[in-house]
Amino acid sequence: MTDDVLIHTHAGVGHMSLNRPKAIHALTLDMCHAMSAALTGWAGDKAVKAVILDHSEGRGFCAGGDINLLRHSALNDGGVSGRRFFHDEYQLNHQMFTYAKPIVAFMDGITMGGGVGIAMPAKFRIATENTRFAMPETGIGLFPDVGGGWHLARLGGRFGQFLALTGARLDGAECVWAGIATHYLPSDKLAEAKARIIEKPARIAGILSELSVSPPEARIESNAERIAKHFASDRYEDILASLEADDSDWAAKELATLNTKSPQTCKVALRELAEASTYTDFAEEMRSEYRIASRVLVRPDFAEGVRAVIVDKTGDPQWNPATPEGVSEELLDQIFAPLPADEEWKPL
């Protein structure tokens, strides 16, 4: 167990509270193991009717995964420890997705990357005025993982492809509009919501409906038609060409954003979402994502992206390949290829 997740049982409710505030509750391997063990225990406990997932303090729900561990692994152990982190984190994602008891995730504050992976499987997903949701992985040479391919592929209007490529940040109102969040509560109502859920876990839906308020207007909605038009293709070059042909300020801004991203992982993301849309079993998605992660982790763009964006903060990643045209179908085939049978991802 670890102090980085506070795990309690209150009457008929299990409670997992992320407790790593200096890292905005970014997930470590120990945190994933602690959460998984708690869920396993509660699954067999008839007294536990539901699970609350939140964070203890600070400005975010969960900022992602342990990027420093992953970069160290890429540079020093050939990806061995990084693959173990991905493997077990994805087991937690799958365990939550298939969990028989309702999970209520309070996405109050920053909810990105690994935080998305533990929030989206929850039956109830609460956004607030503090919510900042994003899958920003293409900016550091990664891809939308932790089940992101499955979740993003199922948003309408090519919105998932837009989020995967640009890493756009959504506020709480936009999360509700997109279907990412199920409810919108003012942050000052969260304590009451949790107390009432603990008191009557069979009434979660009713309690959240009673405490919900109408969110502000979703600003992103005004761009929905543009997004559907310009991000319509699964071919990255087509998306760039569509934006280039539009002389609006919006198109110029999105094109400038895409030009900062890893061409390799943008193409990976588009193929990932296209394939994810055909899956009928979440385990298929996690198996595919683990194959991708195992390869992308040790390719040049990841360590370089983390250096430029997070470590040195120079914002000048030198991507390899440097252009979308340089990312061949053969390279993508290698990244998506099955692993040896004894290395494939398996659910718990």
Residue 74 CA to residue 228 CA, distance in Å, equals: 36
**Nearest C-alpha neighbor of 208 from the set 223, 229, 188, 190:** 190
Residue 10 has a CB neighbour count (10 Å cut-off) of: 15
Beta-carbon contacts of residue 180 (< 8 Å; ≥ 6 apart): 120, 125, 127, 133, 151, 155, 170
**Three-state DSSP class for 132?**
strand
**Three-state DSSP class for 297?**
coil
State the catalytic residue, choosing from 108, 137, 254, 289.
137
**Three-state DSSP class for 321?**
coil
Tokens 């490529």 belong to residue: 165
Residue 30 CA to residue 329 CA, distance in Å, equals: 37
Helix/strand/coil (H/E/C) assignment for every residue in 202-252: HHHHHHHHHHCCCCCCCHHHHHHHHHHHHCCCCCHHHHHHHHHCCCCHHHH
137 an active-site residue? yes
Chain-centre distance of CA 50, in angstroms? 22
Residue 320 near residue 300 (C-beta atoms within 8 A): yes
State the catalytic residue, choosing from 54, 145, 171, 289.
145
Amino acid at 141: G
β-bridge mates for residue 183, sequence order: 126
What separation in angstroms does the CA of 321 have from each of 96, 135, 186, 334? 36, 22, 45, 15
Report residue 323 as tokens: 């252009």
State the catalytic residue, choosing from 60, 79, 114, 149.
114
65 an active-site residue? yes
State the catalytic residue, choosing from 64, 65, 113, 139.
65
Catalytic residues: 65, 114, 137, 145
